[in-house]
Chain A
Amino acid sequence: MSELEIGALLFAVTFAVLFSGIPISFGLILVSIGFLYFFGDAGGLSLIPNTFVGELSNFALLTIPLFVLLGCTIGASRAGKDLYDSLHRWMCKIPGGLVIANILGCGLFAAMCGSSPATAAAIGRVGIPEMIRRNVSPRLATGAIAAGGTLGILIPPSLTFIIYGIVTHTSIARLFLAGVVPGLMLVAIFAAYAWGSSYRQLRNNPTQVIESYTLSEKMSGLIRILPFLAIIISVTVVMYGGFATPSEVAAIAAFLALVMVVVVYRTWRLTELWLIMREAVRESCMILMIVAGAAVYAYMMSYLYITQSLAEWMFSWNLGNWELILILNVFLLIAGFFLPAVSIILMSMPVILPVLVHSNIDLVWFAVMMTINLEIGLIHPPLGLNLFVIRGVAPEVPLRDVMMGALPFVGLMLFFIVLLAVFPGIATWLPVTLMGPA
């Protein structure tokens, strides 16, 4: 069988195995073992355990448990409820106000955290139950957080920009700056969608009670946000003041949240602490097991040369620039079905980069487009890491609903990719203005 035929078979088998109801991580390993057994050799099989563990021995990935702990600390204690009560008092007049607050929260969190699943986990853990409690439709609530969470890799700092910068010799500072405007625009687009969707729902259901609060009630709510503001400010100072790297900040934020919960909310009994910690280890285990399983799967695809053959095959067609951009985006979307963002960059850039350079395509602009495309991969099945994260933090919402909720956001992001293709300035304006032309 040729590599492309094996790839087609892999496509079918992966779907079948993952839909059987086996945990995602174990399913990915099962498929990898099977394909390396039938199409690879004993040598290929022997590195699976090392790939699995080697992937986890990475401090940047290990910030995920720390950010999850941050989310659980706020979410599993009274602190999260308080925060949303206060926000609710201010936002309840706007249709979808709380959803918009959550999307803004994702954007803010993305500015502290370089990973998308961590962003979705931290905000979703608190936000989704509170939104659903306040009659936001479960689809909108989970979809908004799944999509908002993907901004973690677009708004700096970003793990994928760092990897891309190293692989392509592009300035990481430039890439970070290029992600700012598109990130903010996506926040605005997501928020606008949440407003529109909630407005329609409200109009169809006019019996729904609209609460209202007096100014003093609003102000008293504001006081309860102060501890959170203190955390956000300290974390910003620690990170941008040169005291800690973005990864270290994860631990500091989690630590401060724990201190807040103990001091302000008096959660100091061991049983209460256990409620927080057990959620944190459960979610971390789930996310990182999937990440490690996906690394094994990516290794298998690379060992059998499937990804590379697919990319080589697509670029053998000798296309013009616009066709090339279209094909690249299609390729990235397909790759996003099965592979995590970092693996896609590592495996495909050696093939794509020469083509980009040959066609004189701006690497910074392409990085932003690629990142948004990879973000879509995080919220579409079968391997959409953010979907699983949401599933983990809100187990009562069926996966179908989470996926349906994320679908409109996939559409919005695809639309934004087109916008970015037509107006490259959206990405390149800020870095060129601040750093001069490349």
Chain B
Amino acid sequence: MQYFNRWVTRASTALAVIAAGLLLAATLIITWMVVKRGIGMQNSWELELSIELMIGAIFLSSPYTLATGGHVKMDLLDAILPECIKHKLAFIAKLAGCLICLYLGWEGLRMAQHAFVTGERALGIWQPLSWPKYATIPVGMFMTALQYVTSMHRELVSAPGKVNSKDETASSKDAPYCVRCDAQHKEVAACRN
């Protein structure tokens, strides 16, 4: 299980690196598109490609976002509920989140497969094939589901009532208000697993 957790974390980070590359590429492409048009040249593939890249980036970065606590949730009840109920509720919420990710991943896979078989294209001037964009959904969402599995596993092995410092729900309450330290802290925690 240790090995599995480490593998999931690495794969999530790798997907995030790819997503970052896609977002950066989209930024450069749109800038280039405006420059190109400004000097009187034809635009063709730029807008459509950058849209596809950004959609891909969103889905591929989802597991990393979950691992580093980026998917925002309402934690208003945290202060009110007793410790044991809080843990059970957190576990149920994770299970539900995991099932939703499996559902989205499965449906995304079907969309990708259908688009691949029928050769579906996006509308526009360049009309790229749709399946690569759809294919990022199963990749991103299944990985997010695996990320949930590791998180639930940790929840189960850690004794209830104790706050697990490695867990993504754990927030360092006494840390100073500093976004960058926090991100760094989470990054380190994620890599330790």
Contact = CB atoms under 8 A, between A and B. Distances in A.
A77 to B, nearest CB: 10
B51 A59 contact: yes
A7 interface: no
For chain B, what secondary structure do more than half of its interface residues adopt (helix, strand, loop), or is it mixed?
Answer: helix
Contact of B93 (A20, A25, A29, A53): A20
B44 to A, nearest CB: 15
Contacts of B183: 275, 278-279
Contacts of A391: 72
Interface in B162-180: 169, 171-172, 175-180
A252 B26 CA distance: 11
A400 B72 contact: no
Contact of B79 (A50, A65, A400): A400
B9 to A, nearest CB: 14
Contacts of B175: 396
Contact of B171 (A33, A238, A388, A395): A395
B38 interface: yes
A101 interface: no
Interface string B79-111: 100000000011011101100110110011011
B74 to A, nearest CB: 5
A289 B34 contact: no
A399 B171 CA distance: 12
A282 B69 CA distance: 9
A332 interface: no
B66 A23 contact: yes
A57 B48 CA distance: 10
Interface in A282-309: 282-286, 288-290
- Residue of A25, A62, A252, A285 with most chain B CB atoms under a 10 A cut-off: A285
Contact of A133 (B50, B77, B178): B178
Query: Could you say which interface size class chain B belongs to?
Result: 35 or more
B178 A56 contact: no
Given A23-B97, A57-B51, A281 B61 contact: yes
B68 interface: yes
A246 interface: no
Contact of A286 (B72, B94, B97, B176): B72
A129 B104 contact: no
Nearest to B38: A243
Given A65-B23, A129-B179, A279-B183, A26 B134 contact: no
B158 interface: no
Interface in A210-252: 238, 243-244, 248, 250-252
Interface of B: 16-17, 19-20, 23-24, 26-31, 33-34, 37-38, 47, 50-51, 54-55, 57-58, 61-62, 64-66, 68-79, 89-90, 92-94, 96-97, 100-101, 103-104, 107-108, 110-111, 122, 134, 137, 169, 171-172, 175-180, 182-183, 187
Given A33-B100, A278-B20, 11 more contacts: A18-B73, A23-B72, A26-B97, A49-B107, A53-B134, A66-B30, A282-B61, A282-B70, A285-B19, A289-B65, A391-B72
Interface of A: 18-27, 29-30, 33, 48-50, 52-53, 56-57, 59, 62, 65-66, 69, 75-76, 125, 128-129, 132-133, 138, 238, 243-244, 248, 250-252, 254-255, 258, 274-275, 277-286, 288-290, 381-382, 388, 391-400, 403
